[in-house]
Structure 1
Amino acid sequence: MSDALLIGISARIYHPITPVADIGGIFTRTLHYLEQSVAHWVLQPDALALMIPPVEREGLLQPSEVSLADYAQRLDGLVLQGGADVAPESYGETPLAPAWAGDRVRDRYEIELFNAFVAAGKPVIGICRGCQLINVAFGGTLYQDISTQVPTAIAHVDDARYDNQFHEVSLVQGSRLAGLYPGTHRAEINSIHHQAIKDLGRELNIEAVAVPDGLIEAVRWRGSSYVFGMQWHPEFMAQRQLHPDQLDGRPILREFLDAARARRRA
């Protein structure tokens, strides 16, 4: 494993709930963590997964002499994992409801991290929130709540079913995503998001849309390096026996890791 790819995964952030004295123990501290299945999805015989802790020179996080650009220089690729909502302030709006306020601290950290990897020409893949974050980093906006702002949309989240909630997507023919699945026009993916891309970010192409409501489900950057975002969770689908209509995430992971290898060789 001495020459294994080093793939960074952005951290989720747990912020202590006040008053912390009523909780006690570790939950009085800010926690940086990742969802286990994301790391297991990335781990391959020639790829290691590493969580990248948030660091910030100004703001609410503890300042550090280490910058996120240092991680971008040393690592081979970045996975932006799912989690809390993107804060509306991050794309120039105010929350329509308190529950949709999102995590502005995490937004600042992940946008800086994303920009550092793009500047270094390293590949980036975004899962669910990560897809939305990519869109916002390129100047796009989000629906703060699909059911409120797009009342004709299908159900994209069901808390009771969680990763057993599925719907169809249509792959944009001629796109690189469609090229990973020759002959496939539609497929089923899991759906665990109440927010979605509204206005598309700069230089992004749409590669998949939900059926039948047409909401954006996958995007890819037209720029000089690999940047791909998807609204579904391939790491959850990797843990189950898929039926033929469900989208296997392995071709997406292979493409991402191939891009990381090519960048390392370059």
Structure 2
Amino acid sequence: MASPLLIGFSARIYTPGTPGIHLDGVWTRTLHFLEQSVAHWVLRGGAVALMIPAVSAGSVVKRGDLNLRDYARALDGLVLQGGNDVAPETYGQTPQHPDWHGDRVRDLYEIELVNAFVEAGKPVFGICRGLQLLNVMHGGTLVQDIPSQRPNARAHRDSSNYERHFHDIEILPDTRLAALYDGLARARVNSIHHQAIEQLAPGFVVEARCPDDGTIEAVRHDGAAWIAAVQWHPEFHVPGDPSTFDDSPLLADFLSAAHAARRRAGPAS
């Protein structure tokens, strides 16, 4: 039997002193973590989930000790988890509010990680923040805060309901997403974000929008690199629930690209 696919995940990063968290013990340390639901989403496809650590200026392990290209060569694909905001500095802006300063350390780490996987010919899939990061690193910009900058937009986040906050998406025709869901024009997804794509990056196409206000909900790179992303969290949709989007074809498409990348790479040395 062939060995299972090895899918890497960018680390979510917790830094001591994060506003709203005042705890002792492990919370006094910098934490890199993989959220359980997103790991289980990939595990449902028969793949193995592995988190890729980051390195910051204060780390014991220094930048030169961690070559992200080694991970890109060893693994079959990359998933960018959700998490903190992308730092406005990453797309040439300044925070319009202190709460929106984002995570510049994670931005730089994930940009290098994406570049390593693309260079290795491996597929990259972004979730929520991942969609925003992919757009920014390729030359796009973000709305820093939908409620304040687009007051006529629908609510895209409800902290009291978190992953149980939903709205419809419209799947655009003649896209890869439309091909994966033949005949499905609209679907219902969770929505847990206050930022969104403002200017779409060159080389990307929109695959889904929110029909209520036009917010971009899914994108894909139209070049040789396999890069796709969604604004919702597929890991939070309950499998088999007819009331929400079935993300299984989306996962299968990503894993199929990972299999193809493994075949191109040939036997491991």
Q: Structure 2 length normalisation: TM-score?
A: 0.92
- CA shift, 1:241, in A, is 4.7
The 5 A counterparts of 1:72-221 are 72-221=72-221
State the match for 2:242 in structure 1: 243
- CA shift, 1:161, in A, is 1.0
Q: Say what the alpha-carbon RMSD is for the aligned residues.
A: 1.7
Rounded to whole Å, the distance in 1 between the matches of 2:116 and 2:45 is 27
- CA shift, 1:67, in A, is 0.9
Identity %: 57
Rounded to whole Å, the distance in 2 between the matches of 1:26 and 1:41 is 27
Secondary structure at 1:115 match in 2: helix
- Equivalent AA in structure 2 for residue 233 of structure 1: H
State the match for 1:265 in structure 2: 263
The count of residues paired between Structure 1 and Structure 2 equals 260
- CA shift, 1:60, in A, is 4.6
Give yes or no for contact 2:45–2:255 (8 Å, CA) kept in 1.
Answer: no
State the match for 2:267 in structure 1: none
Give yes or no for contact 2:239–2:246 (8 Å, CA) kept in 1.
Answer: no
Runs of 4+ off more than 6 Å: none
Rounded to whole Å, the distance in 2 between the matches of 1:228 and 1:236 is 18
- CA shift, 1:16, in A, is 0.6
Instruction: State which drifts further: 228-237 or 60-69.
Output: 60-69
Give yes or no for contact 2:45–2:252 (8 Å, CA) kept in 1.
Answer: no
Rounded to whole Å, the distance in 2 between the matches of 1:46 and 1:192 is 27
Rounded to whole Å, the distance in 2 between the matches of 1:70 and 1:175 is 33
1:35 aligns with 2:70: no
- CA shift, 1:24, in A, is 2.8
- CA shift, 1:2, in A, is 6.0
Q: Structure 1 length normalisation: TM-score?
A: 0.93
- Structure 1 stretches of 5 or more lacking a match? none
- CA shift, 1:45, in A, is 6.3
Rounded to whole Å, the distance in 1 between the matches of 2:152 and 2:239 is 31
| Structure 1 residues 188-233: Cα deviation after superposition (integer angstroms, max 9, x where no partner) | 1110000000011120000000011001010000121210010001
